[in-house]
Amino acid sequence: MNRAIKTVTNAGMRRNSIFMGAQHEKRKIKGTFIVNVMFRENATWQGEVVWADEKKKQYFRSALELIKMIDGALNSEEEKMQTKTETEED
């Protein structure tokens, strides 16, 4: 589920906010991220990403770095869920 919303800042600069929700195979949402692309230089994006569920914010210097951040966050969340499930089974 990807939606892109274009907003205008006070300075009149266009800013792209992308809301990305990653979905589990069973349609359970793993995470919601708010991506603010502040600049487009060197053929890539620079900006900030907010992990809405955990209220954590990080800055990224490239689209690849952004993808790695999101992937890492989802993997850590999945590991937490597996650990929780294993603990409950014991």
Question: What does the pLDDT profile of the chain (90 residues) look like in tens digits?
Answer: 444 444 444 444 444 544 444 444 555 778 899 999 999 999 999 999 999 988 999 999 999 999 999 999 999 888 887 887 787 776
Are 46 and 37 a contacting pair, CB within 8 Å?
Answer: yes
Q: Which residues of 12-39 are buried (b: 16+ CB within 10 A; e: fewer)?
A: eeeeeebebebeeeeeeeebebebbbee
Q: What's the pTM?
A: 0.63
**Phi, psi at 52, each rounded to 5°:** -60, -40
DSSP one-letter code for 57: E
